Amino acid sequence: MSPQDDGTTDEPVNREPPAEQLVQSFLTPSKSHDASGEPEAYDRNHGPIQHIDASTHKVTIRSEQSNLMKSSDVPPEGIDVTLSMDDLRRRFAQHTVTCALQCAGNRRHEVRSRVKEVTGVDWGDGAVMNAAWTGPLLRDILIDQGLNVKSDLKYHDGLHVQMECNATKVQDDEWYGSSVPLGMVMDPEREVVLALDMNGSPLPARHGAPVRAIIPGVIGARSVKWLDTIVISAQESQNHYQQHDYKVLPPEATSPEKAEDLGVWDKTPAMQDNPINSVVALPSHDGDELRRDGNGRVRIAGYAIPQGKGGPVERVQVSIDRGETWKDATVLDDGDENTTHPANKGKERGKFSWVLWEVEIEIDTTTATTTTTTKATNDTIDIWSKATDRAGNTMDEENPKGNWNLRGVGYNAVQGRINIKIV
């Protein structure tokens, strides 16, 4: 498939860059800048990429009338407004949030190859991007339309914000839809935006132009591209991708047939927050070689993302002796031209952005392990990494291979690369 191909309903464009390419830049470019055509930001689609005229596109926002809807949440007459792209740019303050957008199936290949077979696209470690997204806060728009503001976000319990793209039929439904709790959208710390720009330029078509939802800290499936409809409702979206996909099913659901027999799709909540995660990007594959420098050291690098709104990531640790000892990695807060993007000036490390990290570890393949030098067994090592965010969320080193689920989603095992040869 060529980079220009928009895909079809039956064969949508799903691709990712190599992880070692991703960690060359704090902000992920939207497209390749070289002749290879290798994407620099992943594509996840359930239907063909849409090309929509921004001058005529509109987003409709409405509330459903329901006995379950709290009368004081929305004005008595309800919400029913249609906004053009010009309205979104000019009527509301523009807000930039830098966040990591990650496919729920990122690292699925590791589950499949190391634990047990799963269903879904065979993602490696590159189904993630970190970008500066700019547009109006959805919270501001809803307040402008009369939605009540409460400091206690539980006030909005039981209500949902459904988001839709009706522009095309998708693989498993007539349209693409998703939803998040209304309290999440109204949380000023969550910074939910209707993004018009990516990294300071208008959204490209492949990333949802002319407008997409960005739900920081939440799996990418909820950040609907080519957005055209928003509904405040007393129920979740009933779309296939909210009800029958992107769920961490219980372990007894060992096959699609078993999942249906057990009725677990209806019983299992839809995924929302990303789990905390750290990925080893260099070396980039199991069985790769790492070459020691003149001081006997090897360089290991990767990225880490926080859990939900628990960020930023404050600590990354690496082990090459299967958790016996851990070494703190250096978290890279700057170092390239993308890091100093105007959106980041004067800001501390973002709550929702990833961090890039690196560590140098001295390895001696001939002598015993010391406090500063690790011996490689048979000249190979396994590399583990774990992240900890500001809220204290951390990865489980007691379960290095991680937890299996049928869809292979939300995978965050500390086991990173195995059988790495030391030369």
User: Which residues contact residue 113 at a Cβ distance below 8 angstroms, ignoring those fewer than 6 apart?
Assistant: none
Task: Please tell me what DSSP assigns to residue 326.
Answer: -
Which residues in the chain land under pLDDT 50?
1-3, 335-344, 367-372
What's the CA gap between 196 and 54, in Å, rounded?
Answer: 10
Instruction: Quote the pLDDT of residue 343.
Output: 44
Tokens of 22: 């991703």
- Residue 276 is predicted with a pLDDT of 98
SS3 161: strand
- Residue 122's nearest CA partner among 109, 104, 113 is 109
In whole angstroms, what is the distance from residue 218 CA to residue 179 CA? 11
Per-residue exposure over 345-375, b if at least 16 CB sit within 10 Å of its own CB, e if not: eeeebbbbbbbbbbbebebbbeeeeeeeebb
Question: What is this structure's pTM?
Answer: 0.91
Residue 402, judged by CB atoms within 10 A of its CB (0-12, 13-18, 19+), counts as buried
The per-residue pLDDT for range 162-181, each reduced to its tens digit, is: 999 999 999 999 999 999 99
Rounded CA separation 193/157 (Å) = 21
Q: 126 by DSSP, 3-state: which?
A: coil
CB 171 within 8 A of CB 237: no
CATH numbers and ranges of domains, the chain: 43-267 (3.90.420.10), 277-422 (2.60.40.650)
Is residue 422 left, alpha or beta, with left meaning phi > 0 and alpha meaning psi from -120 to 50?
beta
Give 3-state DSSP helix, strand, coil % of the chain, rounded to 5: 15, 30, 60
Residue 161: what pLDDT?
96
**376 with 422: CB under 8 angstroms?**
yes
For tokens 């939207």, what's the residue? 30
Quick one: pLDDT at residue 67?
A: 58
Q: How far apart are CA 151 and CA 344, in angstroms?
A: 28
pLDDT of residue 336: 43
